[in-house]
Structure formats: structure tokens, C-alpha cells
């Protein structure tokens, strides 16, 4: 009888541990495990291209603005900034507009 009680106690403790791990991992998910929604992305790299060895240019969308920046071994430099609505449609390409 004591061995059955010990086995049930161990099973109960492992069950509590599994529930705790499941709940904590759910909190790390975007929007929470119970909400089922993801927050709209605020920063998005639209396109990147290499200029030279160690130098890359990026078109980045941050909320409703577009930035053209270069990144390399010497650091980052902002080349241009404008509202996203002012970016030509051929540059936007297949980017889906979020409501």
C-alpha cells in the first residue's frame, strides 16, 4: 500500500511540474497562449543588398516610416528617411500593407 501511495505522490508532483512548465512557456508566446493574436510587426527589413565587402545597404520599414541605412565594419549610417506613403510603389513591390 505504501508503494502505491508513493507512486501516486510522484505522479502528482510530475503532473504539477508539467502544468507549471506548460503555463510558463505559454506566457513567452507573442499575444499570450490564451489570446491567440500576434502583435503587428513594427520593424521590418524590406530589402538588403551588398555594396562591397563588409558594407550592406538596408531598406527598413519602422511603423509608418521608411529608412535607408548602410551597415558595415565602420558602423551604421542613415542615408534617407521618409514616410512609408512616399516610397514609390515599385520599391514596395510585393509588400503586403497591414490595416
Contact 35, 49 (CB under 8 A): no
Whether the per-residue pLDDT at 35 is higher than 60: the answer is no
Whether the per-residue pLDDT at 88 is higher than 90: the answer is no
Name the DSSP letter for residue 84: G
Whether the per-residue pLDDT at 75 is higher than 80: the answer is yes
* The predicted structure's pLDDT at residue 98: 47
Which residues, 6 or more positions from 55, have their beta carbon under 8 angstroms from its beta carbon? 70, 71, 72, 73
* The predicted structure's pLDDT at residue 56: 93
Segment 69-91 mean pLDDT: 88
Sheet with 65-72, side-by-side order of all strands: 43-52, 55-62, 65-72, 75-83
Segment 58-78 mean pLDDT: 91
Cβ atoms within 10 Å, residue 46: 17
In whole numbers, what is the pLDDT of the chain averaged over residues?
Answer: 80
Amino acid at each position: 500500500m505504501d508503494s502505491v501511495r508513493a507512486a501516486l505522490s510522484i505522479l502528482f508532483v510530475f503532473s504539477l511540474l508539467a502544468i507549471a512548465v506548460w503555463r510558463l512557456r505559454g506566457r513567452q508566446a507573442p499575444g499570450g497562449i490564451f489570446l491567440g493574436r500576434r502583435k503587428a510587426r513594427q520593424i521590418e527589413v524590406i530589402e538588403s543588398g551588398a555594396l562591397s565587402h563588409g558594407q550592406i545597404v538596408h531598406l527598413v520599414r519602422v511603423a509608418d516610416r521608411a529608412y535607408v541605412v548602410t551597415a558595415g565594419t565602420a558602423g551604421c549610417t542613415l542615408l534617407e528617411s521618409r514616410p512609408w506613403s512616399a516610397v514609390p510603389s515599385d520599391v514596395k513591390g510585393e509588400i503586403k500593407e497591414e490595416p
